[in-house]
Amino acid sequence: MAFTVVQKLDKDPRDITPDYTLDTLGEPCPYPAIVMLETMPQLQKGEILELLSDCAQSINNIPIDTKNHGYTLLSVEQDGTKLRYLIQR
């Protein structure tokens, strides 16, 4: 996939290696946000989750949910309808 960076912090997303991948492609909203919020507490502080989604509404929900729960959204990338989020605990 050739993702285009929509949002990033300091590092280029290609330079970040996620510790875990959560593939929610094909799942309707709000499932990607719910499963992300259920998964994040299981990560150790500093670990990174890669969340894949093709739910258009997730572009609004995921950034808000990560911030509201104290996680860091490192990047948002898009490839057509596919979205890739890198979230750090």
Query: Quick check: is 29 catalytic?
Result: yes
What pLDDT was estimated at residue 47? 97
Query: pLDDT at residue 39 above 90?
Result: yes
Percent of the chain residues past pLDDT 70, beyond the cut = 90
Phi and psi at 14, nearest 5°, equal -70, -20
Give the active site residue among 3, 7, 8, 29: 29
What pLDDT was estimated at residue 58? 95
pLDDT (average), residues 18-23: 98
Answer with the residue of higher pLDDT: 2 or 63: 63
What is the rounded CA–CA span in Å between residue 85 and residue 48?
Answer: 10
With 0.95 as the threshold, say if the pTM is over it.
Answer: no
Does an H or E element contain 57, and which? Answer: none
Burial 73-86 (b: 16+ CB within 10 A, else e): bbbbbeeeeebbbb
Phi and psi at 76, nearest 5°, equal -130, 125
